């Protein structure tokens, strides 16, 4: 629901794309970025549950118990950022 909402709102999509890219570039590991995004996305969901009709209805129906946004955070990281370059494999012909 959150992803569909963001995709349907161009300003929100631009904001979140920039936020995801910023968090990923500032994080030493992608896993750290995912943890931070999980928290940010949940806060956003709670905020939207006060004003956006689809979120207001969901909050009334299901409450606002903390729900993991980790899968969405991982998806956004994969979708909206470039993969980090992998280290080239060590040359087996050269001994350390």
Q: What is the pLDDT of residues 79-93, one digit of tens each?
A: 999 877 666 766 666
Supply the pLDDT for residue 52.
Answer: 95
The whole-angstrom distance between residue 85's C-alpha and the CA centroid of its chain comes to 20
- Is residue 86 situated within a structural domain? no
- Is residue 92 situated within a structural domain? no
Residues of the chain with pLDDT under 50: none
Range 4-37 burial, b when 16+ CB lie within 10 A, else e: ebbeeeeebeeebeebbbebbeebeebeebbebb
Please state the domain count of the chain. Answer: 1
Q: Which residues constitute the domain of residue 20? A: 2-79
Supply the pLDDT for residue 28.
Answer: 85
- Is residue 95 situated within a structural domain? no
- Is residue 70 situated within a structural domain? yes
Provide the whole-model pTM: 0.83
Phi and psi angles of residue 31, each rounded to the nearest 5 degrees, phi first: -60, -35
Supply the pLDDT for residue 74.
Answer: 97
């Amino acid at each position: 629901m959150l992803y569909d909402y963001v995709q349907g709102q161009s300003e929100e999509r631009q904001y979140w794309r920039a936020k995801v890219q910023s968090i990923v570039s500032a994080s030493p590991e992608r896993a750290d970025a995912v943890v931070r995004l999980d928290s940010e996305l949940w806060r956003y969901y709670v905020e939207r549950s006060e004003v956006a009709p689809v979120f207001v209805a969901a909050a009334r129906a299901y409450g606002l118990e903390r729900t993991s946004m980790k899968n969405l955070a991982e998806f956004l990281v994969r979708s909206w950022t470039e993969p980090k370059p992998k280290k080239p494999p060590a040359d087996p012909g050269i001994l350390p």
